[in-house]
Amino acid sequence: MDVTFQFDWEAAFASIPFLLKGIPYTLLISFGGLAIGFLIGILFGLLRISPIVWLRVPAIAYIEIFRGTPVLVQVLFIFYGLPQILGGPINALVAGIAAIAVNSGAYISEIVRGGVQSIERGQREASLSLGLSRTQAFRYVIWPQALRRMIPPLGNQGIISIKDTSLFSVIGVGELVRQGQVYIATTFNALEVYLMVAFLYLVITLSLSFALRLLERKGLVGQ
């Protein structure tokens, strides 16, 4: 059976203005969730390496649970499950930000742990020998170096989280994929529209990758 197929470039480009309406939501969910996730990651990353067992164990549990379950399941639980516990609905946008926050926070915790532990032990000991307290040694010597080393993996996590927002169309958030689905429902140009959705995601992620490479070339991140 012969199948005739013709890609409609005009329909593809016509969808772009409509799809662009979803980018603010995509970026808001991504960067809003990542900002909260970074704070969560610092907290649990430091608890993860704490010598106090009752602090370390809950951190390990959080990290393993949220790294070991899909972000789609997490957002569905937040949007559909938590309202039954809280007794009230949760806004879809809030649910999306929360899902990115707790999911990225688990991965960022491991990035923080790795960054801090990568600093040579001798630097901490030298700081203490110079009269700095443990807190001052961490704040002024260990953390600045660790943060510099963490930026590349943090950037990679940012790219992953941006792509993860594509899953949140299942709860009706008006992000990029959801906008594409709505447009397809009226035009039936699925291939053309999804190609443009992929292109816009690529533009966003490549822009972030370029910014990270620029920082690395300037020697502002890494070793």
CB 28 within 8 A of CB 98: no
Per-residue confidence (pLDDT) for residue 216, from 0 to 100: 77
Nearest to 204, CA basis, from 173, 144, 161, 170: 161
Question: Looking at residue 2, what is its pLDDT?
Answer: 55
In this prediction, residue 125 carries a pLDDT of: 82
What does the pLDDT read at residue 1?
52
**Looking at residue 127, what is its pLDDT?**
83
Cα separation, 119 vs 114, whole angstroms: 9
pLDDT value of position 213: 85
Residue ranges of the chain whose pLDDT lies below 50: none
**95, 116 Cβ separation under 8 angstroms:** no
Q: Estimate the crossing angle of helix 53-68 against helix 92-117, to 10 degrees.
A: 120
pLDDT value for 223? 58
Nearest to 24 by CA among 164, 179, 171: 179
Range 4-29 burial, b when 16+ CB lie within 10 A, else e: eeeeeeebbebbeebbeebbebbebb
CATH class of 17-217: mainly alpha
Tell me if the pTM is above 0.85.
yes
Predicted confidence at residue 222, as pLDDT, reads 57
Would you kindly state where each structural domain of the chain is located, as residue ranges? 17-217
Enumerate residues 6+ apart whose C-beta is below 8 A from 140. 127, 132
